[in-house]
Structure 1
Amino acid sequence: MSTKYVLDPADRRRLLASPAGWIACGFGSGLVPRAQGTAGSLAALVPWLVLRDLPWPAWIALIVASFAVGVWACDVAGRRIGVDDHRSLVWDEFVGQWIALLPALWAPWWAVPLGFVLFRVFDVAKPPPIGWFDRRVKGGLGVMLDDVIAGLIAAVVLWIVLSFV
């Protein structure tokens, strides 16, 4: 079984052997050797940029559906490798990043990198209430929930910044 930080080859194979593992690992972006959360957040920008012109209700539906799929996928993947919130499970970064970037749908180009940075700061620092949920909620829901909250806080901060320009 893996620790939270090291993914051995057998665990990598177990993850990649199932659709849940592929989704939970962000289609492979979480399998990089370092900074998996940042790699997942960067990978999340690709579909966001492709789908940027969707109307906001479609974005909300996509985020809700992706959250539900993520709870399932991260729960299955975490059980496969015996670690609830392994660093390679980055689907939560996809959903959190998309939430953080909601205000950027109507903003100048520089809002995208700012939203990216804000999300990473809140995800890594885990200020209250993010850290509380991260420590107490387990399984697939726990994997997803702290990043959703980080995304919501980042979105609010981004929206405030954008309201002043």
Structure 2
Amino acid sequence: MTIQKLFLTFFGAGLSPKAPGTVGSLASLPVGLALLYYFGLETLFMLTLAITIIGIFEVNKYEQKTGIHDHQQIVIDETAGMWLSLMIAYSTAVTMHYPYAVLLAIVFSFAAFRLFDIWKPSTIGWIDRELKGGLGVMLDDVLAGIAGGFLSAAILMAIEKLI
């Protein structure tokens, strides 16, 4: 396996025969949590920004080589989106004053990201359909991650109001 394919498949998670996007998101979650715990939010953000930018260029190269747009095996975009969703939900959860807020943030960030990534409402869907190349592949998941993070944060805040 080439380094490019290792990167684009997030260490092989995208090679799953069933639901590679979900598997890629699930594989990204513990890595994102470890980065948050050991290195902090700022480091995870910078790494997310870096893989997004590198992902745009590497997806372009891969698409030129294979002629396939947004191949199912490419899940580095899910990694970027998942980490954005996680960061937003986590940074909200640490301000909450009820038990298990961080655990709920982890679960909600995954579920909400996958919801927006699969559903592709509004601008997310437009980007997925209209933008070609690496920018389109990466940007729809970045927006799905941001939307998933905000939805998770809203749910966490609603729970705090109800308790």
Q: Which TM-score tier does this pair reach, normalised by the shorter chain?
A: 0.7 to 0.9
Identity %: 38
Q: 2:103 aligns with which of 109, 128, 139?
A: 109
TM-score (norm 1): 0.84
Q: 1:70 aligns with which of 55, 60, 78?
A: 55
Q: 2:16 aligns with which of 5, 22, 32?
A: 32
Code of the aligned partner of 1:143: V
Q: Could you tell me which residue of structure 1 aligns to residue 144 of structure 2?
A: 150
Q: Aligned ranges for residues 92-103 of structure 1 at < 5 Å?
A: 92-103=77-88
Secondary structure class of the residue paired with 2:36: coil
CA contact (8 A) 2:8 2:58 kept: yes
Which of structure 1's runs of 4+ aligned residues deviate more than 6 A? none
Secondary structure class of the residue paired with 1:34: coil
Root-mean-square deviation (Å): 1.3
Structure 2: which 5+ runs fail to align? 94-101
Structure 1 residue 63: deviation in Å? 1.3
CA contact (8 A) 2:32 2:44 kept: no
Q: Aligned ranges for residues 112-151 of structure 1 at < 5 Å?
A: 112-151=106-145
Structure 1: which 5+ runs fail to align? 1-15
Please list the CA deviations of residues 116-142 of structure 1 after superposition, one character each: whole Å capped at 9, or x if unmatched. Answer: 010001000100010100011111111
Please list the CA deviations of residues 20-43 of structure 1 after superposition, one character each: whole Å capped at 9, or x if unmatched. Answer: 221111111101111010011011
How far, CA to CA, are the matches of 1:43 and 1:73 in structure 2? 20
How far, CA to CA, are the matches of 2:58 and 2:4 in structure 1? 4
Say yes or no: does 1:159 pair with 2:144.
Answer: no
